[in-house]
Every structure is written in C-alpha cells, then in structure tokens.
Amino acid sequence: MNKKVILKNLGLKDYKETWDFQETLFQSIISIKSNNRNQNTTLDTPNHLLFVEHPHVYTLGKSGDLSNLLISEKQLAEKQATFYRINRGGDITYHGPGQIVGYPILDLENFFSDIHKYLRLLEEVIILTLKEYGINSERSPGQTGVWLDSGTPFARKICALGVRTSRWVTMHGFAFNVNADLGYFDHIIPCGIKEKAVTSLNVELGVKEVSQVEVREKILKHFAALFGAELI
C-alpha cells in the first residue's frame, strides 16, 4: 500500500479549472486500479492533496436544492461570483479568498476502506488544528463538517466537507474558513441548514488576519499523523 501523498499548492485558481484537474487525477487513479484488476498487476496507485483558494464561487452538490441559492444570475455577476452544479455529495456551499480549500485525491485502499472513517478523520484534522489556536470545536450529529458550540443557539460552522468517491478513490474535500468574507454566505442557505451561522478563524480569534501558511502547516501535520501518510 502506497501511503505517500503528493502535495501541491495551487494558490488562487478558478474553480472549474481546479475541478477539471481533480477529475484528471481521480480518473488516472481509477484507471490504474482497473488495469491492475484486469491484467492481474500490482502497480501502486498515487495519492494527492491539493491546497487552493478560489475566486468567489457557489457550488451545489448532486443532492442539493437550488432554492438554497438566494440570489439571481444577475446578482451573482454583480458579486463577481460564479455558480456550478457539481458531482460531490452535500448541498450548497461557498468558496472564496481567505478560505483554505483542501482536495485529497486518495486511493483509500492505500489507507483503509471506510468512507465514514475518512470523513471523520478529515473533520479531526480541522478539530486538532483549531485546538492549536485555543478553539474547541466539534462535530454536529447528522451534519458533516466542523462546528463551534454545536447543540446551542450559538452553533456556527467553520469548516464544510463534501466528497465524491468511486472504487475507494476520493475527490473534493474540505473548505476551512480562515480569513473568509462571511458576507458571501448571506446569499445561500449553507449546506441547506437553516438558522445556523457560519464563522471564520480570524473572527473567532478577534484578529484581522491569520497566517494561512501557518494554518496549512498545522493541517498537514495532523493530516499526516491521522492518515499515517508521508507527504512529498
């Protein structure tokens, strides 16, 4: 089993371009797995972890409800935002500058064959990262992602998750609000969950800006430890 994970920081990149790049990596892993099975070979499958920031964009998962997008096409243009229906699970979410978006494209058979465990470990990566900033976060029963004050009237989401898997290969991933413009969340019902707030790390810390380089380093440390991965 290949536990090496190829790390790539894409910087600020268009959502559709990044989605296409993910699909290329995703399909190449599936192709290797298919060839291994059909030809009785044992070629290693690669694993990837992409970090990226996107220009303002709203994405709707395959089971999502379009009515959770609260603005028109014209208003999207005025906000310099785009919109895509995509092939991950979950409902609608927002990506934009100030967010750390992580796309693990992994062959889970290199690690463990358990989608539930995969999602819980991604959440744990963020929970442990927040703990380093003195912030206690948690899961919310029945709601994927990372939350603060879950189960109270002050519950607010700080990290959203949405993934696609096929033949134990993953794509899409997490969006962690670090220095996010939370005003853009006002134009959707985030993840289709009504009357729940969204927050960002800089807001919780009461500072103007948090070093995203530092946050990424902490995420990588916890990702490598929890997945038993070697980052290259």
Binding site for substrate: residue ranges?
88-95, 160-162, 173-175
- Rounded CA-CA distance 149/139 in Å is 10
Q: Cα torsion for 69, 14, 174, 133, to the nearest 10°?
A: -110
Radius of gyration of the chain (CA): 17
The answer to whether 159 is a known catalytic residue is no
Q: How far apart are the first and last CA of the chain?
A: 16
Q: Exactly one of 81, 148, 191, 229 is catalytic; which is it? A: 191
CA distances from 125 to 69, 145, 164 (A): 29, 11, 19
- For residues 60 and 19, is the Cβ–Cβ distance under 8 A? no
Q: Which residues contact 154 (CB under 8 A, 6 or more apart)?
A: 148, 197
- For residues 173 and 190, is the Cβ–Cβ distance under 8 A? no
- For residues 119 and 88, is the Cβ–Cβ distance under 8 A? no
110, 88, 223: which is closest to 165 by C-alpha?
Answer: 88
- For residues 52 and 119, is the Cβ–Cβ distance under 8 A? no
Catalytic residues: 191
